[in-house]
Amino acid sequence: MAYRSDVESFTTWAERLDIDQPADIDRLILRRYVAYLSTRQFARRSVARKVAGVRRYFGWLRRNGYVQTDPSTSLRAPSGEGRLPRVLSQSDIDELLDGPTPDDEPMWRRRRDDAVLELLYGSGLRVSELCQVDVDAVDLVAEAVSVWGKGSKERRVPLSTPATEAVAAWLQIRREVLPASGGAAMFANERGNRLTPRDVRRIIDRRSPVPTHPHALRHTFATHLLDGGADLRAVQELLGHSDVSTTQRYTHVSKQRLRTVYSQTHPRA
C-alpha cells in the first residue's frame, strides 16, 4: 500500500509536467523528482522509501515490456538516518519466556510457543529462519541448529540450555499438531501447516507483556550478548551478518544502556 501511494504521488507530479506515459520519463526527470521531494520537508527515510517505490515501478514496467529501458537503474536517494534497534528489558524477556498462560491453553501450544520464543531469543534467529527450520536441522545432543539465512547462506547456531529443553519437550508431542503427511517442518500452526511469520507474531502478541515484534527478540539477543562482554565478531557470526558494520549498531544500543545505568546509579551522575 505504501509503494502504491508513492507511485501515485510520482505520477501526479509527472502529470504536472505534461508527461502522460512512462516511456517519456528519463533519469533527469527522476532526479528532479528526488530534488522536489527533498524540498517538501520529508524525512530522509521517507524520501528513500518513495524513491524505492519508483524504482520498483520502473523495474516492473521494464520486465513487462512497457518501457525499453529503466531510467531508475542508478537512481539514488539521500540515505536515511538509521534507527537504533529496540530491545526488551530483562524483566520483559523473563515474563515473555516464563510468564503464566491461560488455564485453558492446550499443552501442545504452550510447548510449541516456548520452543519458538527460546529459539528467537536464545539463538537470535530471524523469524523467516525459524519458520523454515526442519526437524533434522536441530541437533539436541550438540545443542545446535542449522539455519538458512539471507543470500541462501547456511550457518550453525548454538542452542541455549532452555532452548534445547523446550525443543525436546515440543518434539515429544509435535505429531499432535503436525501429521505425518505434514512434512519435515519443526513448527506448525493449528491447521497443521508450517508456521508462518504471521503465526509467530500472534504467539508474541499472546505472550509479551509489552507491544513488540519477532525481530525485537533478535535485537535483544545481540544487545544482551554485547552487554555481557561478547566479542563483536562472535556476535556477527551468530547473527549471520556478512558485514560487521551491520552488527556494530548494537554497540550503540549497549552504550545507551550503559549511560542510562550510569545516570541512574552513580551518585554524582
Residues acting as catalytic residues: 126, 150, 215, 218, 241, 250
Copy the grid coordinates of residue 15.
502529470
According to DSSP, residue 195 is labeled P
C-alpha dist (Å) from residue 26 to 23, 52, 73: 8, 16, 11
With vertex at residue 105, the alpha carbon angle to CA 99 and CA 106, rounded to the nearest 5 degrees, is 120
End-to-end CA distance of the chain: 47
- DSSP states along 23-43: GG--HHHHHHHHHHHHTTT--
Exposure on the CB side of residue 207, measured as CA atoms within 13 A: 27
